[in-house]
Amino acid sequence: MEVIVRSNAEQTAQLAALFIAKQIRQKPNLVLGLATGRTMERIYAILVQMHHNDDLDFSKCHTFNLDEYIGLPTEDHNSYRSYMNHHLFKQVNIDINNTHVPNGMAADVTHEGKRYEEAIKKVGGIDLQLLGIGETGHIGFNEPLSSLMSRTRDKSLTPKTRQQNAEMFGGDPNKVPSRAMTMGVGTILEARSILMVALGSSKAAIVAKAVEGPITSMISASALQLHSSCKILLDEDAASELAGREYYDWVFQNEPEYESYR
């Protein structure tokens, strides 16, 4: 795991977009795992700019989103399918048939979980998984006590998560669906590389626990410590409770891999 800290949210989003764009340019048929949430909005906006200004080509990419609310039809503006169409898919040259979001309206959620896992397998697995983190430590919607080996399935959301996402539902946590389909922690860990991004002081405590604390199913993001190719990208505020900061900065300044990004 490598932790990279940038001075503000804009610089963090810029670097995240550069990492993603580099992988798309190296492998045009990249399989991207995608995340939703406020953290991702600027990253997608920069990728759209790169598509228009620097010929970043999505035409051969496949994408798999982490999660979707159960009970929201795709056309609902709060569905993650709507979010993705709006922020990325409709603004770049991706083939919409190659974009995948779990079906939150599936009559049989167990079958939907299996179908999603098989679709990921069919294209050879995820090359790069983009992640945010919730204040409960969730990645995707893997709330506390999600098995570290879990696969795509339905999951109950915690009151804290519904509160955190209430802003998009007119401020009322009761309007946030209580369940979601989500890739499992085990599914996420199978991605060949992972990029987690967190911004702002509200994420500082959970980021420190996930990165420097023990691996525990109480904090799904702590399972990322098991992954051999995982970058954690933070702004100053989200990094403010990390104990090992000096070493992380030294690595970023000295690793040859990061030379072109410094």
What does the binding site for ligand GLP look like in residue numbers (CB under 6 A)?
35-39, 66-67, 132-134, 140-141, 161, 165
Nearer to ligand GLP, 42 or 62 (CB): 42
Rounded-to-integer distance, Cα 97 and Cα 215, Å: 37
- Retrieve residue 245's tokens: 């900061």
Rounded-to-integer distance, Cα 213 and Cα 111, Å: 35
Cβ atoms of 72 and 81 closer than 8 Å:
no
Nearer to ligand GLP, 102 or 132 (CB): 132
Minimum CB separation of residue 145 from ligand GLP in Å reads: 16
Phi-psi map region of 172: left, alpha, beta (phi>0 left; psi -120 to 50 alpha):
beta
Nearer to ligand GLP, 140 or 184 (CB): 140
Nearer to ligand GLP, 4 or 198 (CB): 198
Minimum CB separation of residue 244 from ligand GLP in Å reads: 23
Minimum CB separation of residue 179 from ligand GLP in Å reads: 12
Rounded-to-integer distance, Cα 32 and Cα 101, Å: 12
Nearer to ligand GLP, 170 or 256 (CB): 170
Rounded-to-integer distance, Cα 216 and Cα 196, Å: 18
Minimum CB separation of residue 41 from ligand GLP in Å reads: 8
Torsion angle in degrees (nearest 10) through CA of 98, 101, 105, 108: 90
Minimum CB separation of residue 36 from ligand GLP in Å reads: 6
Q: Which residue is nearest to ligand GLP (CB)?
A: 132
Minimum CB separation of residue 53 from ligand GLP in Å reads: 25
- Burial level of 212, CB count in 10 A (0-12/13-18/19+)? middle
Residue with token string 């989103």: 65
Nearer to ligand GLP, 42 or 51 (CB): 42
Which residue from 261, 260, 195 is spatially nearest to 234, judged by alpha carbons?
Answer: 195
